[in-house]
């Protein structure tokens, strides 16, 4: 069930429990006996948070599901404040055993994959709130996750204490929107004050629901000093990303990466040509690979009928965790999602293959070695003999403190490239992360 905070509107504050109302029961509010179509409730198969978000925004989602394509697009852009899109979710872990079990991992911390799923769902709902013009005579925009800028875990998240996620739009471009989410939880021994445990930044782009072309979004007017600072920071990041892309293209054109490529490939050639003489503390990138595959099911779709981005992040994270675990030989500790690119949509029925590898390690600090894992999601169509990358995910792990205490000596290998393609890929990722 959902409870509303008395100090907030029902659409801005959601208190989540494990038991939620059946969306197909007769509505007590409008007295109607009409059952909502099943397609309006794809989130029902994911998590209590997703169900709650669908309930909260059900009216807008109904219009989005059956868009008024013959109606005109929104022509008058509104100016909204960050507070108008702000939403908060409360996980009642302390009082709800079933909810704790839904989110608990084997080490009594939160399942990061499920949390990523919820973050994507919340960011999408916030973007819908910001872009809505509350005019049901215009056709709504389609909002697509373009990328996840960064997700950083600042401290472990327990399932023994209540958890809160708050977020709002912090920046808009012409057709793009950046949403920042903060996950907070009371620290052990604190007197009720929450501290931020994780931060996440999602970027969405708007498309016209009829033409599928880029469409303008409502403007944003920051009010407080904090909101203005967040807006300016996001504006700077947007410009920096464009500048960095242009600089990488220029460097490649000038051949300035050749020396670095040669250095990366030198050890890899020894592995391939003289394996007995190779560095015992290094490993070929190809020997760190893991993979799995699945057929995308209707239960994993979003409101537009496409596969839910949060579900893809969930599956990618769990493969990345397994890859880091098999590589390190001890349980890894998640630090951040450095970047996620959503290149192509994934549809129900698609044959999806996840391929992972340890792209490189950072061993400057022996106490806190960093393991950088890449996961690519490929949409594979055997009947067409084609395979395309739909999503690319980058995760960073270190070694968990308990694992270090249990094992006297932990060796984290240096990863080396065997081909020029692998070497270029490693360099490109390091430059992007720098």
Summarize the chain as % helix, strand, coil (round to 5). 35, 30, 35
User: What domain range includes position 414?
Assistant: 257-433
Residue 258, pLDDT above cutoff 90: no
Q: How confident is the model at residue 3 (pLDDT cuts 50, 70, 90)?
A: very low
User: Of 168, 203, 221, which residue is a domain's last?
Assistant: 221
Least confident of 46-50, 167-171, 222-226: 46-50
Q: Is residue 217 part of a domain?
A: yes
Same domain, 208 and 309: no
3-state secondary structure (DSSP) of residue 69? coil
Mean pLDDT of 51-58: 62
**CA atoms of 218 and 158, how far apart (whole Å):** 37
- C-beta of residue 357 within 8 angstroms of C-beta of residue 306: no
Burial of 233 (0-12, 13-18, 19+ CB in 10 A): middle
Q: Is residue 230 part of a domain?
A: no
Q: How confident is the model at residue 46 (pLDDT cuts 50, 70, 90)?
A: low
Same domain, 267 and 155: no
User: Of 172, 195, 221, which residue is a domain's last?
Assistant: 221
Q: Is residue 226 part of a domain?
A: no
Same domain, 308 and 200: no
Residue 58, pLDDT above cutoff 60: no
β-partners of residue 291 are: 355
Q: Is residue 55 part of a domain?
A: yes
Same domain, 382 and 272: yes
Q: Is residue 227 part of a domain?
A: no
Mean pLDDT of 149-160: 92
Could you read off the pLDDT of 303-358 as tens digits, one per residue? Answer: 667 888 888 999 999 999 999 999 999 999 999 998 788 888 888 889 999 999 99
Residue 34, pLDDT above cutoff 80: no
What pLDDT, on the 0 to 100 scale, is given for residue 2?
A: 41
Q: Are strands 414-416 and 282-284 parallel, antiparallel or unpaired?
A: parallel
Could you read off the pLDDT of 80-107 as tens digits, one per residue? Answer: 999 999 999 999 999 988 889 989 999 9
Could you read off the pLDDT of 351-386 as tens digits, one per residue? Answer: 999 999 999 999 988 888 999 999 999 999 889 888
Residue indicated by tokens 């109302």: 21
Mean pLDDT of 52-73: 59
Q: Is residue 303 part of a domain?
A: yes
Closest CA to 170 of 85, 76, 57: 85
Q: Are strands 290-295 and 351-362 parallel, antiparallel or unpaired?
A: antiparallel
Residue 308, phi-psi category: left (phi > 0), alpha (psi -120 to 50), beta (remainder)? beta
Least confident of 120-134, 184-198, 199-213, 275-289: 184-198
Q: In angstroms, how far is CA 14 from the centroid of its own chain? A: 21
What pLDDT, on the 0 to 100 scale, is given for residue 8?
A: 45
Same domain, 319 and 409: yes
Residue 257, pLDDT above cutoff 80: no
β-partners of residue 104 are: 110
Q: How confident is the model at residue 256 (pLDDT cuts 50, 70, 90)?
A: low
Least confident of 176-185, 190-199, 399-408: 399-408
Residue with the larger pLDDT of the pair 274 and 222: 222
Same domain, 267 and 369: yes
Q: What percent of the chain has pLDDT over 70?
A: 77
What pLDDT, on the 0 to 100 scale, is given for residue 430?
A: 84
Could you read off the pLDDT of 417-434 as tens digits, one per residue? Answer: 988 889 888 888 888 776
Same domain, 185 and 301: no
Same domain, 202 and 278: no
CATH number of 40's domain: 3.10.129.10
Mean pLDDT of 108-116: 92
- Counting the structural domains of the chain, the total is 2
Mean pLDDT of 244-267: 68
Same domain, 160 and 298: no
Same domain, 276 and 422: yes
Residue 180, pLDDT above cutoff 50: yes
Same domain, 28 and 95: yes
Q: Is residue 147 part of a domain?
A: yes
User: Of 167, 200, 221, which residue is a domain's last?
Assistant: 221
Same domain, 214 and 360: no
Cβ atoms within 10 Å, residue 329: 14
Q: Is residue 115 part of a domain?
A: yes
Q: How confident is the model at residue 73 (pLDDT cuts 50, 70, 90)?
A: confident
What pLDDT, on the 0 to 100 scale, is given for residue 13?
A: 82
Mean pLDDT of 250-274: 74
| Greatest C-alpha distance within the chain | 78
- C-beta of residue 302 within 8 angstroms of C-beta of residue 42: yes
Residue 38, pLDDT above cutoff 60: no
- C-beta of residue 342 within 8 angstroms of C-beta of residue 146: yes
Q: How confident is the model at residue 60 (pLDDT cuts 50, 70, 90)?
A: low
Could you read off the pLDDT of 185-236 as tens digits, one per residue? Answer: 987 655 556 799 999 999 999 988 778 889 999 999 999 999 999 999 999 8
């Amino acid at each position: 069930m959902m409870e509303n905070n008395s100090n907030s509107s029902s659409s801005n504050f959601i208190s989540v429990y494990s038991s939620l109302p059946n969306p197909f029961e007769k509505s007590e509010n409008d007295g109607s006996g009409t059952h909502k179509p099943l397609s309006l409730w794809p989130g029902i198969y994911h998590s209590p948070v997703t169900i709650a978000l669908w309930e909260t925004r059900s009216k807008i989602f109904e219009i989005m599901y059956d868009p008024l394509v013959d109606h005109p697009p929104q022509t008058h852009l509104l100016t909204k404040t960050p507070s108008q899109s702000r939403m908060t979710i409360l996980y009642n872990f302390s009082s709800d055993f079933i909810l704790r079990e839904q989110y608990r991992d084997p080490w009594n911390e939160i399942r990061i994959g499920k949390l990523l799923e919820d973050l994507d769902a919340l960011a999408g709902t916030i973007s819908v709130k910001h872009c809505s013009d509350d005019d049901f005579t215009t056709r709504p925009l389609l909002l697509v996750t373009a990328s996840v800028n960064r997700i950083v875990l600042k401290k472990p998240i327990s399932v023994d204490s209540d958890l809160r996620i708050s977020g709002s739009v912090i920046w808009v471009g012409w057709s793009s929107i950046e949403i920042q989410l903060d996950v907070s939880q009371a620290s052990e021994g604190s007197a009720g004050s929450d501290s931020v445990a994780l931060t996440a930044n999602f970027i969405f782009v708007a498309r016209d629901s009829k033409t599928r072309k880029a469409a303008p979004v409502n403007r944003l007017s920051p009010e407080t000093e904090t909101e203005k600072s967040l807006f300016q920071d996001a504006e700077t990041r947007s410009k920096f990303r464009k500048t960095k892309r242009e600089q990488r293209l220029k460097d490649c054109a000038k051949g300035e990466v050749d020396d670095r490529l040669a250095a990366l490939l030198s050890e890899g050639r020894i592995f391939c040509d003289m394996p007995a003489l190779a560095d015992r503390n290094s490993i070929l990138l190809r020997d760190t690979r893991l993979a799995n595959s699945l057929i995308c099911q209707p239960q994993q779709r979003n409101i537009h009928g496409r596969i839910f981005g949060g579900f893809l992040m969930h599956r990618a994270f769990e493969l990345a965790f397994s890859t880091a675990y098999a590589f390190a030989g001890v349980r890894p500790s998640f630090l951040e999602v450095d970047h996620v690119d959503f290149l192509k949509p994934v549809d129900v029925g698609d044959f999806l293959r996840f391929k992972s590898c340890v792209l490189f390690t950072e061993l400057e600090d022996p106490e806190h070695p960093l393991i950088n894992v890449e996961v690519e999601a490929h949409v594979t169509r055997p009947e067409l003999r084609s395979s395309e990358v739909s999503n690319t995910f980058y995760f960073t792990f270190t070694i968990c403190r308990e694992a270090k205490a249990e094992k006297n000596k932990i060796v984290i290998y240096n990863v080396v490239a065997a081909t020029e393609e692998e070497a270029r890929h490693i360099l490109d990722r390091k430059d992007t992360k720098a």
